[in-house]
Chain A
């Protein structure tokens, strides 16, 4: 008899993918400005390290929030005992207000419809458990966050069927692509329960257009299925077009309280906007009470620490702080993204025009030996081991076209980013030199052949005359 479950012994956790392996290589040889200046620079981790000073200054001015105090009185006991899966009311209020603020109050949220979870990882898995049976499927536009292979599929038994997006239209979702994915699922005998999108997109760094969102609403209405919108990067939109949430589109289409409205669910987290992945704060927002109710009970398996709920309820309730934070954070992200884009340009590399996220979607097709995923892997290995940059290959994000890479920019200092750009430029230059050297060699070969040929011809010529 098998001693352990299949889940425990198989690879369905997806952690043998290059996404995680690059991470491991970095761990073995991490760059440090002083201690290890030739180490690998981590550009594969979508973290936001740009605005901690703003958080730290708030903490310095508000010691009670971390000190278990409210109005000078200790509330340690209450928090120590607080394990209600309905969540700390003050925190939920502050959170829905924060979410509305990010959407410039074009939509508002009801704190009774929000469910707190230990990170978006937990939120996404929970939604799968609530919306699908084992063996059913969700459609996801490619490229997508590699972690979804584990989060959505591993313990739930749910399948992912990709909606293929291509560079021909900047990887936007199209109606034909949706239909094709749906058909593919049917061919595989998989019942489709919904579509899951990340908006803004990881790894693309772009916000979805209103027309894409409308398309999605039409599609899920026609098929009678769910839509999950993972809006974890909603606060990182730093330039136009602005962020349009699916809730805003539903509102504009007057879909409130309709059937389709109840099938749209949002996932959020404070890991990217506030840069607090360690605190494990995620949320599900659903207009369907049954979903909210089931998800609430399931959140028992991953509640947010009451200590953390309290701290963040104080932080997010400070509207002066949140207003300033949101705009300053976005300004810094924009500046940093510009920096990366320029640096890449200097190396002759272009990326997808982006307005959000903590990364760029970079086009290195011209550096591939051949237009294949094997060549992409070759290039990736070179970049990790020789150039010493851990970036994420498009294949790990299930991109259909080889040659794209996700490069993060918000998880390091400007100096480190500078160095990364310099290394990349050297690499590209050397490749170009190598290939022009190769071209030179090739052209020399051709010249030699011509000369030899001429020689032989010359030999013959006098006879002919």
Chain B
């Protein structure tokens, strides 16, 4: 008898993908300015390390939040015992206000519709359990975050059917692409339960247009399906256009209390905006009471530590701090992104014009030997092994076109990014010069062959003439 479950013994956790393999290589040989200057620079991890000083200074000025104290009195016992899956009320209040602030207060959110989970990894899986049966499908625009293959499918046994987006229109979602994906699912005999989008997009780094969001809502209404909008990067929008959440579009279309509003669910987390991925703070926001109720009970399997809830409820209730933080954080992200973009430009490499996220979507098609995914793999291996940069190949994000890569810029110091840019410049130049050399050599070879033939031909004819004398 099979001792372990299929889930435990198969590969359906998706962790054999290159996304995770590159990570492993980095772990074996990590770059360090002094201790290992030839090591691999990690550019595959979408972390936000740019604004910790702001958080640390807040902590210094607010020691009670870590010391389990409120107004000088100890709240240790209450917190130690607090395992209510409804979450710490003060924390949920602070969170919905923080989320509204990120959306420029164009929306007002209700803390009773918020469910706390141990990270958005847990939130996304929980939503799948709530919205779909085993064997049902969700449509996801490509390229998408590789982790979804595990988070949405593994234990839930829900399927993902891709909505193919292409560079021809900047990877925007189109109605034909939606229809095609839906058709594809039907052909595969899969019942489509919804669409899951990441807005702003990972790995593209762009926020969705009002047009795209309207399209999605219309499509969802027509097909009677859900929309899950993973807005984990909403606080990282550093450039125009301004961020538009699906919640805002619903409101603008006067759909706030409609049937469709009960089919739209937002996922959020503090892992990217605040850079606190270790604290495991995620959440689901839904207008659907049944979903909120079921998800709340399911959150028992991944509650947020009360110690962490307390600390962050204090931090996020400090409106002076949050306003300052969001602004400064976005400013730093913008600057850092521009550094990456310039560095790549110097190397003759372009990226998708982006206004959000912790990464750029980089176009290296011109560096491919052939426009194939095999060539992309080759290039990725070279960049990992020879150039010493761990970047994420587009294929790991299910991109339909080879040659695109995601490169992170917010998880390292400026100096390290500079080193990375130099390395990529050298590499790109060497590829170009190798290619030029090859072309030159080829031409030279052709010329040599031609002149050989000429010589031989002329020798032949001269030989004939010699015997005539």
Among the listed A9, A275, A291, A302, which residue makes an inter-chain contact with B4, where contact means beta carbons less than 8 Å apart? A291
CA–CA, A11 and B277, complex, Å: 33
Q: Is the interface of A mostly helix, strand, loop or mixed?
A: helix
Stretch of B28-36, B115-123, B399-407, B450-458 contacting A (4+ beta carbons < 8 Å): B115-123
Given A4-B130, A280-B305, A308-B308, A56:B81 Cβ within 8 A: no
Contacting A at CB under 8 A, from B283-320, are: 288, 290-291, 294-295, 297-298, 300-308, 311
CB distance from A184 to the nearest CB of B (A): 19
CB distance from B233 to the nearest CB of A (A): 16
CA–CA, A118 and B74, complex, Å: 24
Cβ–Cβ < 8 Å partners of A224 in chain B: 1
Cβ–Cβ < 8 Å partners of B154 in chain A: 298
Q: In the complex, are the beta carbons of B306 and A278 less than 8 A apart?
A: yes
Q: In the complex, are the beta carbons of B301 and A306 less than 8 A apart?
A: no
Stretch of A59-67, A362-370, A414-422 contacting B (4+ beta carbons < 8 Å): A59-67
Given A74-B56, A307-B305, A301:B118 Cβ within 8 A: yes
Given A8-B294, A80-B276, A302-B301, A279:B306 Cβ within 8 A: yes
Tell me whether B150 is interfacial, beta carbon within 8 Å.
yes
Q: In the complex, are the beta carbons of A305 and B304 less than 8 A apart?
A: yes
Q: In the complex, are the beta carbons of B308 and A7 less than 8 A apart?
A: no
Q: In the complex, are the beta carbons of B77 and A52 less than 8 A apart?
A: yes
Among the listed A122, A297, A304, A307, which residue makes an inter-chain contact with B301, where contact means beta carbons less than 8 Å apart? A122
Q: In the complex, are the beta carbons of B302 and A4 less than 8 A apart?
A: no
Cβ–Cβ < 8 Å partners of B441 in chain A: none
Q: In the complex, are the beta carbons of A302 and B122 less than 8 A apart?
A: yes
Tell me whether A47 is interfacial, beta carbon within 8 Å.
yes
Tell me whether B67 is interfacial, beta carbon within 8 Å.
yes
Cβ–Cβ < 8 Å partners of A427 in chain B: none
Cβ–Cβ < 8 Å partners of A1 in chain B: 191, 224
The residue in chain A whose Cβ has the minimal distance to the Cβ of B305 is A305
Q: Is the interface of B mostly helix, strand, loop or mixed?
A: helix
Stretch of A130-138, A175-183, A457-465 contacting B (4+ beta carbons < 8 Å): A130-138
Tell me whether A331 is interfacial, beta carbon within 8 Å.
no
Q: How many residues of B contact A (CB 8 A)?
A: 71
Tell me whether B83 is interfacial, beta carbon within 8 Å.
yes
CA–CA, A129 and B4, complex, Å: 9
Cβ–Cβ < 8 Å partners of A384 in chain B: none
Tell me whether A101 is interfacial, beta carbon within 8 Å.
no
Among the listed B83, B291, B298, which residue makes an inter-chain contact with A4, where contact means beta carbons less than 8 Å apart? B291
Cβ–Cβ < 8 Å partners of B280 in chain A: 83, 118, 303-306
Q: In the complex, are the beta carbons of B130 and A278 less than 8 A apart?
A: no
The residue in chain A whose Cβ has the minimal distance to the Cβ of B134 is A134
CA–CA, A211 and B59, complex, Å: 54
Q: In the complex, are the beta carbons of A131 and B302 less than 8 A apart?
A: no
Among the listed B4, B118, B308, which residue makes an inter-chain contact with A307, where contact means beta carbons less than 8 Å apart? B308
The residue in chain A whose Cβ has the minimal distance to the Cβ of B47 is A81
Chain A 4-26 per-residue mask, 1 if CB under 8 angstroms from chain B, else 0: 11111100010100000000000
Among the listed B76, B133, B275, B302, which residue makes an inter-chain contact with A302, where contact means beta carbons less than 8 Å apart? B302
Contacting B at CB under 8 A, from A225-252, are: 226
Q: In the complex, are the beta carbons of B81 and A49 less than 8 A apart?
A: yes
Q: In the complex, are the beta carbons of B66 and A68 less than 8 A apart?
A: yes
Q: In the complex, are the beta carbons of A121 and B67 less than 8 A apart?
A: no
Among the listed A3, A13, A155, A304, which residue makes an inter-chain contact with B305, where contact means beta carbons less than 8 Å apart? A304
Contacting B at CB under 8 A, from A116-162, are: 118-119, 121-122, 125, 129-134, 150-151, 154-155
CA–CA, A8 and B288, complex, Å: 11
Q: In the complex, are the beta carbons of A63 and B301 less than 8 A apart?
A: no
Cβ–Cβ < 8 Å partners of A121 in chain B: 300-301
Cβ–Cβ < 8 Å partners of A290 in chain B: 4, 8-9
Tell me whether A76 is interfacial, beta carbon within 8 Å.
yes
CB distance from A115 to the nearest CB of B (A): 12
Tell me whether B132 is interfacial, beta carbon within 8 Å.
yes
Contacting A at CB under 8 A, from B97-126, are: 118-119, 121-122, 125
Q: In the complex, are the beta carbons of A131 and B131 less than 8 A apart?
A: no
The residue in chain A whose Cβ has the minimal distance to the Cβ of B65 is A66
Tell me whether A375 is interfacial, beta carbon within 8 Å.
no
Cβ–Cβ < 8 Å partners of A119 in chain B: 83, 300, 303
Q: In the complex, are the beta carbons of B291 and A129 less than 8 A apart?
A: no
Q: In the complex, are the beta carbons of A4 and B5 less than 8 A apart?
A: no
Cβ–Cβ < 8 Å partners of B301 in chain A: 118, 121-122, 125, 151, 155, 301-302
Q: In the complex, are the beta carbons of A155 and B129 less than 8 A apart?
A: yes
Given A1-B224, A68-B59, A68-B66, A13:B297 Cβ within 8 A: yes
Cβ–Cβ < 8 Å partners of B80 in chain A: 52, 55, 275-279
Q: In the complex, are the beta carbons of B303 and A118 less than 8 A apart?
A: yes
CA–CA, A81 and B412, complex, Å: 12
Q: In the complex, are the beta carbons of B121 and A300 less than 8 A apart?
A: yes
Given A83-B277, A280-B83, A294-B7, A52:B76 Cβ within 8 A: yes
Tell me whether A82 is interfacial, beta carbon within 8 Å.
yes
Chain A 271-287 per-residue mask, 1 if CB under 8 angstroms from chain B, else 0: 10001111110000000
Q: In the complex, are the beta carbons of A155 and B298 less than 8 A apart?
A: yes
Cβ–Cβ < 8 Å partners of A125 in chain B: 301
Tell me whether A349 is interfacial, beta carbon within 8 Å.
no
Given A66-B67, A294-B7, A307-B308, A9:B59 Cβ within 8 A: no
Tell me whether A79 is interfacial, beta carbon within 8 Å.
yes
Cβ–Cβ < 8 Å partners of B224 in chain A: 1, 3
CA–CA, A306 and B15, complex, Å: 23
Among the listed A278, A294, A303, A306, which residue makes an inter-chain contact with B8, where contact means beta carbons less than 8 Å apart? A294
Tell me whether B350 is interfacial, beta carbon within 8 Å.
no
Q: 5 closest A-B pairs (Cβ-Cβ)?
A: A278-B306, A306-B278, A302-B302, A294-B8, A8-B294
The interface of chain B, by Cβ under 8 A from chain A, is 1, 3-9, 13, 15, 47, 49, 52, 55-56, 59, 63, 66-68, 74, 76-77, 79-83, 118-119, 121-122, 125, 129-134, 150-151, 154-155, 191, 224, 226, 263, 271, 275-280, 288, 290-291, 294-295, 297-298, 300-308, 311
A-B contact pairs, 29 of them (CB 8 A): A5-B129, A8-B130, A56-B77, A66-B68, A67-B59, A67-B67, A76-B52, A76-B56, A80-B55, A80-B275, A119-B300, A121-B300, A121-B301, A122-B302, A130-B5, A130-B7, A154-B298, A155-B155, A263-B3, A275-B81, A279-B305, A279-B306, A291-B8, A300-B121, A302-B122, A302-B301, A303-B118, A305-B305, A306-B279
